Structure 1
């Protein structure tokens, strides 16, 4: 056997046409970092820091008690008619849903229910200011949680959903900023985190074009004419490249090569692609079927919107494969594993 250095082989330019596509970071993971890491960076407002630390410390104590045995679980269900949800580090939005459940219990059963639980379980009770803080926290984080739920879908979500979702999320947070008592620093931290982690994404012409080529959005998701122009310029450029590529493929025949007026036909085809784009943008229909009416626009839309904005679908696939490929079934052939995985994931379509 002969040892070969892999580094020089990878650096060689052998003229192969195949290469990895552009790398996109998982949007849901970035939103999770905004909602956790960036929010913890708030260090200017002392009132917010004090309320945040005390509120979440009492919430964590309540979650810990409820997870240790069945007795606290029965006490919570008796007083609140609901069970608490506990945060999980491997699941996005789990902290929001856990806090939202506490706020829901206070709203439906009253503060006396939470006070009775804390007294029985010997946990420090929540003050009215802390209850108000958790309520505003849940209202503020609700748009972020909904954005994560949208982007981690796998049935009707394409890459073109990313930029409109983050743009509308920033707009919703800005509207919340004007009607807040405790959540001003929280909204500022969320907006700063979105700008830092998604700033380049929101200005990417390819992603803007992908959003425009989704009939649900087109150009209605923003009022910034500069952003729309950037996306339309990208689309027009690539539609011209498509027509040029098609013409170069058709020009192999001798009849086309000898056509003196070929340039006129090429101009007509480019104008036809431009008219398709204009007709697509003017169409009132917002279903994906409308793309079939415009072949060139549909081809470019499929190219840009085939990727997913988040890795949630891939993680679900690996999680399902891990449950199938257990230690007791470690000798499964790759073909059998693939068939079992396909049957498991496709059962909801049957």
Structure 2
């Protein structure tokens, strides 16, 4: 039987580690995650840990250790203009996740690296219809439909969080695509091996490789199958 103090400690431990676990799930995700998720996730984690520390009795030292570890590992990244710009150009976050001083670094980076003109859409490569005259006047097609700084203001003022927010802001869209690369992670591969380990038990030591592969595919894709309907048809 646990004592009352031990129960309180376990409750505080779970409360402290909950935001850490959620932050790890975000950063190790393989769907809808990009470089722009990095700094906002760390910033929210720090804020949650600082808020939860005020109500703790037993796990304050644990929070201090976690905050110290986050600062040691990610402190320099939190002031990186390129990473800040990537977060700003993520429609989900924009300028709501940090302080004005940090945002100014990212906005300065964005204004410095925005394309100076709007590139025309790609056209099919048809050399037969191209003439020297068309090539000579092709530069006129790079029209300044909207100043890039105004495009940035339009993007920041929009309340939408979908990718359609970039439609009136092609220059901002191109820079966002350049900065918001996918985060490299081995989480999907680790889940695959973990599931395979659950299937390949000592009692199944002589299972055929093809049978193991079929069971693994069924296990990982069970959300796409309706086994009850299959059993009914049989």
TM-score, structure 1 length as denominator? 0.49
Contact 1:159 1:307 in 2 (8 A): yes
Which residue in 2 is equivalent to 1:254? 136
Which residue in 2 is equivalent to 1:177? 53
Measured at CA, do residues 275 and 183 of structure 1 come closer, stay the same or move farther in structure 2, by a change above 3 Å?
A: same
Match of 1:292 among 162, 167, 172: 167
Deviation at 1:347, TM superposition (A): 7.8
Match of 2:86 among 197, 206, 210: 210
Match of 2:177 among 281, 302, 322: 302
Which residue in 2 is equivalent to 1:35? none
Q: Structure 2 CA distance, aligned partners of 1:274 and 1:327?
A: 62
Match of 1:269 among 129, 144, 161: 144
Greater share of helix = 1
Deviation at 1:180, TM superposition (A): 1.5
Residue 231 (structure 1) aligned with residue 113 (structure 2):
no
Which residue in 2 is equivalent to 1:219? 95
Deviation at 1:153, TM superposition (A): 2.2
Counterpart secondary structure, 2:102: helix
Unaligned runs of 5+ in 2: 121-133, 200-205, 226-234
Superposed counterparts of 1:26-105, under 5 Å: none
Counterpart secondary structure, 1:286: coil
Q: Structure 1 CA distance, aligned partners of 2:57 and 2:222?
A: 48
Measured at CA, do residues 173 and 296 of structure 1 come closer, stay the same or move farther in structure 2, by a change above 3 Å?
A: same
Q: Structure 2 CA distance, aligned partners of 1:171 and 1:144?
A: 11
Superposed counterparts of 1:51-200, under 5 Å: 115=1, 126-200=2-76
Measured at CA, do residues 349 and 306 of structure 1 come closer, stay the same or move farther in structure 2, by a change above 3 Å?
A: farther
Larger radius of gyration: 1
TM-score, structure 2 length as denominator? 0.71
Deviation at 1:309, TM superposition (A): 6.0
Unaligned runs of 5+ in 1: 1-114, 116-125, 331-336
Indicate the RMSD between aligned Cα atoms, in angstroms: 3.5
Which residue in 2 is equivalent to 1:279? 154
Q: Structure 1 CA distance, aligned partners of 2:173 and 2:218?
A: 30
Measured at CA, do residues 314 and 277 of structure 1 come closer, stay the same or move farther in structure 2, by a change above 3 Å?
A: farther
Measured at CA, do residues 158 and 343 of structure 1 come closer, stay the same or move farther in structure 2, by a change above 3 Å?
A: farther
Q: Structure 2 CA distance, aligned partners of 1:255 and 1:321?
A: 60
1:254-282 deviations in whole A, cap 9, x for unaligned? 3367xxxx8xx98x739622211110000
Q: Which has the higher contact order (CA 8 A, sep 6+)?
A: 2
Counterpart secondary structure, 2:137: helix
Deviation at 1:317, TM superposition (A): 6.0
Measured at CA, do residues 316 and 236 of structure 1 come closer, stay the same or move farther in structure 2, by a change above 3 Å?
A: farther
Q: Structure 1 CA distance, aligned partners of 2:14 and 2:97?
A: 25
Q: Structure 1 CA distance, aligned partners of 2:92 and 2:4?
A: 43
Measured at CA, do residues 342 and 134 of structure 1 come closer, stay the same or move farther in structure 2, by a change above 3 Å?
A: closer
